[in-house]
Amino acid sequence: MGKITYKITAGITPQRLDTYISSRSGLSRSYIQRLLREGLILINSHPEKASYKIREGDLIEITIPDKPQSALIPEDIPIEVIHEDSHIIVVNKPHGMVVYPSAGHPGGTLLNALISRLERPSLLGGPLRPGVVHRLDKDTSGIMILAKDDTAYINLGKQFRERSIEKHYIALLYGILRKDHGEIKTPVGRSISDRKRMSTKTRKGREAITSFRVLRRLKCATLVDVRLITGRTHQIRVHFASIGHPVLGDKTYGKKTTIRLAQKSINFPRQMLHAFSLKFNHPIDGRSLEFTAPMPKDMEKAMEELMET
């Protein structure tokens, strides 16, 4: 059993209990609600509902049960490990791979590939996503960091919340972006018309900031370096689609999967988005670390085809 304790201090914004715990711990709200139902979260020594509004002076005590790892089955899937020590592991996730199991993807995930390497995985992310402090979409490739213990998980989660982790992506966008650099500062939330999609047209948008710099202009496309200031779901894809320059190959936002030219057509079977670098402080000794993953071969090929036209 693991224990987490929070003491609510003065000046806290009134909010639901499950929302507060999720923002502090990185636990999913569904997992928190399950712990509440099982009586494993107490407020001032008493159980409460997820909708309970926290207030100054509240003492929140969370018990994280030990879970058997049999639900997360190790699989012999090769993964490029860029760095590994006793507390963290940094990998280059290939495109087409889901980070952790779900109803639609029970196996073949990044965590199925890595679970045997985690000596004592942090369970704070939940039994099916131990150590996951951030994630990449299935069809986004690149740098990811995972925590190998609870202390690393909590510290990395704090760095992500405080926006001290520097994340850079490279993206191949549809069309010619005229500005050499800029910032998109449009709130992102659930789409009004389709709850499965994110959008800038939303009733409850959250602050979202994307900084970009043009690396190269090509025929009908632009290669950009993107720095995520915030980390909303599908933020890069939604933001660039909102200004008329969707990520090439994105089947959800923009749907620019083919560029048809006079000489030939160029197909983009997956979104041309790659997590290029990650800079952060080591969660235990505090030293500054930076890791990069080169552009994958399918993006290089797309670049070459665009340059040949």
Catalytic residues: 137
Q: Which residues, other chains included, contact 167 with Cβ-Cβ below 8 Å and sequence gap of 6+?
A: 227, 228, 231, 275, 277, 278, 279
Instruction: Compute the distance between CA of residue 88 and CA of residue 118 in angstroms, rounded to an integer.
Output: 9
Number of residues written out for the chain: 309
Stated as kind and residue range, the H or E segment containing 235 is: helix 235-242
Cα 30–Cα 166–Cα 287 angle in degrees, nearest 5: 100
184 vs 212: CA distance, rounded Å = 8
Residue 165 in tokens = 């982790």
How many C-beta neighbours within 10 Å does residue 44 have?
Answer: 10
Among candidate residues 296, 289, 275, 277, the one with its CA nearest the CA of residue 84:
289
d(CA 85, CA 105): 28
Please tell me the number of Cα atoms within 13 Å of 277 on its side-chain side.
Answer: 11
